[in-house]
Structure 1
């Protein structure tokens, strides 16, 4: 098979050495940085809102879940993932390589999104907003009835999957490459889909829905793996832009196969870890419920201590 040729294996090895080797082969760039105000300004404002909310909660001794070490470390790692995906260095080199572009998408939807969901960033951000405008914070915390559909695990599973499959269709993907605002919308939708998908699953899991949450994540692993396999084994390049940037059909096909493998394996590993985490939480919850039932039954048996 073509994707097992030595030169392709060498490109896989090069990607494993990011960023010291891989980016040297995907095009000539003046800078590894993408200093786009359209990206940096919203990220900075949201980060400021988050930090302000944390300080507001701390001053009032409201040490909730968002102030726990896991949440704070998740917020830091999620911010770092956004930095790598949108500012340095993935965005600059995604123009030349579909594999790097796929890595960028993977970081947005399967790394940054889940980490920010685990950080519970909405709690301090809502607190900061309430300090400025209580009415606006109240309105955001009580969504309209039709928006409550977005809190249903099955609905968000469909929307999350549709986001991934739709944006990787050749026609829409090429359109995003040509029109900047559509490209920005694409990346925003990946981030929001990843964040909201995991936010809903975490909320659902805490209401004793760990089993269905783990099944949802494992189903996502399977359909994203299928898409990755389809991209990997495609007999021709799917995206004409990367034939031009790679310089030949053969190089573009190898780059595409590497992109498919990135979606298939590393992205699949992210969902596998998440699914196993929900499954472990489900088993712990089952054990706790059994212990409660045993304790209750022991108190109801006559003569039991």
Structure 2
């Protein structure tokens, strides 16, 4: 059984056809090819990070995960988690902030948090899947705000203290949003009701799984980065003779 609405990734995937539902949007493929060309030509400061970001974008936008995210809210949240917690920091490593940013880190953290909460409110979420322009506004605002925040956090110009606070605040607000989704007593995202049943989930179980994904696995990249920054700040600085 499929939902009647169609988002960018197409009709909600059902189990029998999942592995056939690859997205071959020529504009998307062209955009990823341009990014790959930039990395291949040495435009990225960290080529491995650049290729990693491209590989993950192929997973979230081209692979059958795209169609699955039309079927399950938990798959959509996994899609968003990969974008903001994995693709964005890899892009920040590949294309880092060259000098001290004009926008304060605290403001970047606040803007990203507001963007994340906005797009996971039931009304804006449903609108973001209702048309192709709305879908890409959702994706680009989530990825763009996360990219700018990660650039500032990973910038050599940012001291470890503010960077660690930014990571802790982001972990806290994502965990709170995930907890609210987990403990909601009723399903909040009706666009996935019919297709979640096709995958063997009740709408509430699908929603709870989505909240757990945002609550626990999503924080791991932030925690790992925080531990790395804390360890780096404790290492003695070698003074050149």
Structures share fold, TM-score greater than 0.5 = yes
Q: How does 1:25-104 map to 2 (within 5 A)?
A: 28-29=17-18, 31-54=20-43, 66=45, 71-104=46-79
Distance in structure 1 (CA, Å) of the matches to 2:183 and 2:111: 26
Distance (Å, rounded) in 2 between the aligned partners of 1:45 and 1:271: 28
Which residues of structure 2 form unaligned runs of 5+? 1-11
| Structure possessing the higher radius of gyration over alpha carbons | 1
Contact 2:77 2:213 in 1 (8 A): yes
Give runs of aligned pairs for residues 104-119 of structure 1, distance below 5 A. 104-119=79-94
User: Could you say which structure has the higher helix fraction?
Assistant: 1
Q: CA deviation at 1:225?
A: 0.4
Report how far residue 121 of structure 1 moved: 6.3
Give the total of aligned pairs: 228
Q: Between 45-54 and 93-102, report the one with greater CA deviation.
A: 45-54
Root-mean-square deviation (CA, aligned residues, Å) is 2.8
Aligned pairs for 1:12-23 within 5 A: none
Tell me, yes or no, if the aligned pair for 1:100 and 1:259 is still in contact at 8 Å: yes
TM-score normalised by length of structure 1: 0.68
The TM-score normalised by the length of structure 2 is 0.85
User: Quick check: 2:21–2:67 contact (8 Å CA) kept in 1?
Assistant: yes
Structure 1 unmatched ranges of 5 or more: 1-22, 55-64, 124-140, 142-147, 297-305
1:261 matches 2:236: no
Call closer, same or farther: CA 1:277–1:30 in 2, change over 3 Å: closer
- Whether the 8 Å CA contact 1:228–1:260 is kept in 2: the answer is yes
SS at match of 2:71: coil
Deviations 1:14-56, CA, capped at 9 Å, x for gaps: xxxxxxxxx99767447231111232222222322332344xx
Return closer, same or farther for 1:278/1:253 CA change in 2, 3 Å cut-off: same
- Check 1:38–1:27 CA distance in 2 against 1; reply closer, same or farther (3 A cut): farther
User: Structure 1, residues 210-244: CA drift from partner, whole Å, max 9, x if none?
Assistant: 11101110110011000001111111111111112
* CA contact 1:27–1:93 (8 Å) conserved in 2: no
Match in the other structure for 2:191: 241
Moved beyond 6 Å, runs of 4+: none
Which residue of structure 2 aligns with residue 156 of structure 1?
Answer: 108
Please list, as runs of the form range in 1=range in 2, the aligned pairs for 1:127-142 lying within 5 A after superposition: none
2:130 corresponds, among 166, 172, 178, to 178
Distance 1:89 1:247, change over 3 A: closer
